Amino acid sequence: MRFYGTWPDGERVWAEHPEASLLLVGHCLARPADLRDGLAAALERDEPRLLMDWPGAYAGLLLRHRGEVIAFTDLAGQFPLYYTSAPDELAIAAHPEVLTGPRQRALDRVMVAARIACPAVLPLWENRSPFETVARMPGGAVLRGRPGEVRLSPPLLRAADLDEVDALRVALTEAVALRCADGPVSADFSGGLDSTSLAFLAARHTSVEAVVYHHPQVPAADLAEAVSFSHHDERIHLSTVQGSQDTLPYAALPQQAGRTSPGQRGAEPTRGSLAVRRAMLRLRHAKTAETRLHITGEGGDAIFGAAPSYLGELARHGHLRRLARHCAGQAALRHTSTLALAMRAGRLALTSPVAALARLSRRLLRPDQSELTWPDAIAWWPVDGAVLTWLTPLMRAELAEAVRDPGLAECLAPDGGPAQMAMRTELRLSAESQRHLRDLGALDGIRVHAPFLDNAVVAAGLAVPSGRRGDPFTSKPLLAAALRGLVPQAVFRRRTKGDYSAEEYHGARVAARHLYALLDDSRLVAMGIIAAEPVRACLGRLLAGAPVPLGAMSQLFATENWLRCLENPFDWS
């Protein structure tokens, strides 16, 4: 076993037993005595899932002295494990490049294209890495293997003994309290519900050096709320870090291509790499504050938000009065028809995921130009028709073939619906954003934690029916209920959300020459994944200030940048 890269203090934990050795990587918050006792119990009962019950979020490797290897990952996927298997070898790593040799670096075209054009189709890319020869364990999975033999078990969620809201309250308060046990912390404090709530929970245990980001030229409408909320607790000390031309999205791309550190380029393409300087402003504030660790609100939207498909869940379970009320509320918010939303919800309730995959396959072969709207997302697999046209016909045919794979539907939880699938997808994306922040922090010796992504919090969130998370009349009612009495009610009365899209538009205009240069020498075009002209046309609309699919555009340019970084390989030896 070898260790590579930068690992902050406490992110590698060993536990020994006469029968096995256990390595945990990530944020395991258990006491050493609990680790020893839990390891002994797991071995005695041959139940490796017992090793996943400690507080925190972490992945693990159990090396049994009889030759078996057992690996497991956190539920959200913040600490992923990758693996390759051959008749005489089983290799597992925390970074996919470790498992690739000079002749094994062929990219997985389906995975790369799906992340750009079909990010909501989680089963299409969940188990893949960017490399053809390397697989990724899905969040919460358990792998048991030895050379030539691999058995992968899906996540298993145990029923909680508490009411759903109480379970979330207990999991969240413990997640924050354990991180504050050794002294002051720093925390994001945007004035939004997620990071602000965590900061107030932390302030119940210690002083909090809070930070809010503000760009004076393109404000996200967060600063006033953050300042106002910070006055509710004298243990919260708020500082503002100001953005500039250099911290805009896309500003760092010209300097990033030559980087070779895995922590700098990431294990996989991620949108966060486009705004790396903005993130570093917040993290370096944490370093200046000399706190133990920095807390982010990443994962809050996934746990406490609700995808539009929750309306279909209300219809499927026969909650017709609530469905009618919510359709009316959502229609008023989005200036659309109540009847149209109700009809979409009813169709979704009668549609199986397999039938929806078949429809997606046909759409991939004959894409339209329709942009993805909120009502369109009342679906199993919402995709943006305009983004599909970015792909070459050959690439769309490859994706359509992958979508038709009968094994794809087997990835679905038997009792899960489209809203839970959307939640799992959002969790995975949040985990990747948090991993990027963690990697950036590690470069400067900063420990970055996301309590919302702890196993106990994720498990409690997944246990809540999707219909309880959505409400057109209240922002994140489940979060407000779970933290009632612990966080000022003024925080939950906020109905707006900080919007950083203006900063993305401004950053793209400033970096326009470089973005066009990336397309002129596009690696994705050379691979036959995208066609340059439709992407150039969309970039032109972005620069003109017209609505465009920002998420897909960001993922595309993040991938272009990542592919260039990959051309400067890191020496893993």
Question: Which of 59, 140, 139 has the alpha carbon at shortest distance from 93?
Answer: 59
Q: Is residue 313 part of a domain?
A: yes
**Spans of the chain, pLDDT less than 50:** none
Given a contact cutoff of 8 angstroms between Cβ atoms, the answer to whether 267 and 100 are in contact is no
Residue at which a domain ends, from 362, 381, 416: 416
pLDDT of residue 364: 96
Q: How many residues comprise the chain?
A: 573
What's the Rg (C-alpha) of the chain? Answer: 23
**pLDDT recorded at residue 416:** 79
Both 530 and 553 in one domain: the answer is: yes
pLDDT of residue 345: 97
Residue 1 lies in a domain: no
For residues 98 and 206, state if they share a domain: no
Instruction: Give the pLDDT confidence score for residue 496 in this predicted structure.
Output: 78
315 lies in the same domain as 433: no
pLDDT tens readout for residues 181-206 = 989 999 999 999 999 999 999 999 99
pLDDT (0 to 100) of residue 414: 59
**pLDDT tens, position by position, 309-330:** 999 999 999 999 999 999 999 9
Cβ atoms within 10 Å of 563's Cβ, excluding its own? 21
Q: What is the pLDDT of residue 138?
A: 93
Q: Are residues 382 and 476 in the same domain?
A: no
What sign does the CA torsion over 369, 371, 377, 381 have?
positive
Q: What angle do CA 116, 358, 127 make, to 5 degrees?
A: 45
Through-space distance between the first and last CA atoms of the chain, rounded to whole angstroms: 13
Looking at residue 22, its pLDDT comes to 95
Q: Are residues 293 and 433 in the same domain?
A: yes
At 65 the pLDDT is: 84
Instruction: Identify whether residues 140 and 276 lie together within a single domain.
Output: no
CA-CA distance, 396 to 389, in Å (whole number)? 9
Domain that holds residue 481: 164-303+423-498
Do 406 and 451 belong together in one domain?
no
CATH number at residue 106: 3.60.20.10
59 within domain boundaries: yes
Residues 493 and 506 in one domain: no
- The answer to whether position 573 is within a domain reads no
The last residue of one of the domains, among 498, 513, 531, is 498
Residue 3: inside a domain, yes or no?
no
Q: Are residues 382 and 463 in the same domain?
A: no
Residues 228 and 260 in one domain: yes
Please, are residues 28 and 13 in contact by the beta-carbon 8 Å criterion? yes
Distance, in Å, from the CA atom of 372 to the CA atom of 258, rounded to the nearest integer, reads 35
**pLDDT of res. 406:** 84
Specify if 4 maps to a domain.
Answer: no
Domain boundary residue, one of 133, 153, 173: 153
Three-class DSSP labels, 33-85: HHHHHHHHHHHHHCCHHHHHCCCEEEEEEEEECCCCEEEECCCCCCCCCEEEE
Q: Are 29 and 178 in contact (CB under 8 A)?
A: yes
Identify whether 5 is part of a domain. no
267 and 203 in one domain? yes
In a domain, 335, yes or no: yes
pTM, to two decimals: 0.95
Q: Answer yes or no: do 537 and 554 share one domain.
A: yes
**Number of independent structural domains in the chain:** 4
